[in-house]
Amino acid sequence: MSTLLPSLHGQPEALPTDSRAVKRCDQLGAHPFSDTQDGLFRAYLSDAYKATCTQVAQWMHEAGMTSRMDAAGNLIGRYEGQTPGAPALLIGSHLDSVRNAGRYDGMLGVMLGIEVVAHFAAQGLRLPFALEVIGFGDEEGSRFPTSMLTSRAVAGTLDALPLDTVDANGTTLRDVLHSNGLDPARYLEAAYKPQQVLAYMEAHIEQGPVLEAANMGVGVVTAIAAQYRFKVSMQGVAGHAGTMPMSLRKDALAAAAQAIAAIERIGASGPEDLVATVGQLCVGPGASNVVPGQATFSLDIRAGTAQVRDKAAAEICAALHTIAQQRGITLALERQNDLPPTPCDPDLTERLATSVARVTGHTARRLVSGAGHDAMVMAALTPVCMVFIRCKEGISHNPAEAVRHDDAQQALLVMLDFIRTLAASPAQEPTEFSA
């Protein structure tokens, strides 16, 4: 069976309904493409990463691209446009993974980019712009205590390289780069100039349940959420569980429990894109017969706009201060992360939404991404847009991560239609791309 998509020349192009992109993600989900024998873990510039780059580069060549590894260790394939050296539409996501990962987070976007190029190459079509598929090396930050290191290098927002930072084995980033034939002094040369780039498009699994709940295979991202991350410490008084009267206790864990309930209540009271999460909790002294004297927990607040995030953060902080005061607990709030929202480009998003409607026959579902993506970094370089793909039960960063073949093919159809309309736009004539 096949699905038809109008081509640039008006003739239908056939696509199989079985997704080669999904199959390739499955192939890359085990040793030697994983640093562990059981499950998937692919760390930046590890042996598994190098094996993955070798295999993905081969697929890029088969699709009609040339390939290269840039100064930051990103894998880049290029399919020239009608004019050699024309600016490129970048299609990308990441090759690295978290520990005990799923097979589609990041990688599916790269595989779909290769399928896009393979399709146009098979039709013998050259566009007014080049196509470049980028497999970013370090999005997750699962080897070094950094994240999006390599997309920041490409976007030109990395001011300095943390060369002395070490991985779990105590190996510095400097040594890892040298052992992979990369010169730390040239790392920032991975940066693109704005005039080299038309836009950036990323296809990614949703990593959430919204599309599945709506029974939709694909959606359009309108923004990547603003984020605050806090460390919350509550200091009470430890005491004997049998001799300390309830009325005289300053129980830090009980205060934390009340605080966490307040966080959940405030997070649920806002718009759909607002979320508030406590993911870590540490209690001291941690004995069954001792009233807890200390509780420390994480607080993650995200929303599609800074205004919504900031309002929720203010309400949560006020609630925590009230709880601490009422219970005689000392409260300390330390903000550890402050990420602004990243709106996707309105024009590109509308084009994507139109393509989704044309391919699926339904109005596109628009979503705010609560998770971070390379697109949020690339927005500093060029306009960005994102396609979300349904994943089973919204599960991600987990071996149970799963996608449907027909959803991946639907995303491919959307990407092809989007590129076709972008190429046909009067604003994208070849004369617009002179350097």
Enumerate the known binding-site residues.
94, 105, 140, 204, 229, 289, 302, 397
Residue spans of alpha helices (H) in 234-305: 252-268
Residue with tokens 């925590």: 320
Are 113 and 67 spatial neighbours (Cβ–Cβ below 8 Å)? no
Residue with tokens 């071996």: 399
Residue ranges for the known binding site for Zn(2+) are 94, 105, 140, 204, 397
Q: Which helix (H) or strand (E) holds 122?
A: helix 107-122
Residue ranges for the known binding site for allantoate are 229, 289, 302
Closest CA to 251 of 264, 239, 263: 239
Which residues, 6 or more positions from 132, have their beta carbon under 8 angstroms from its beta carbon?
A: 76, 77, 78, 79, 88, 89, 90, 91, 92
Q: How far is CA 92 from CA 77, 88, 133, in A?
A: 10, 12, 5
Are 259 and 326 spatial neighbours (Cβ–Cβ below 8 Å)? no
Instruction: Give the three-state DSSP class for 198.
Output: strand
CA distance 133 to 56: 11
Cβ-based neighbour number of residue 326 at 10 Å: 10
The first and second tokens of residue 16, run together, are: 């199989």
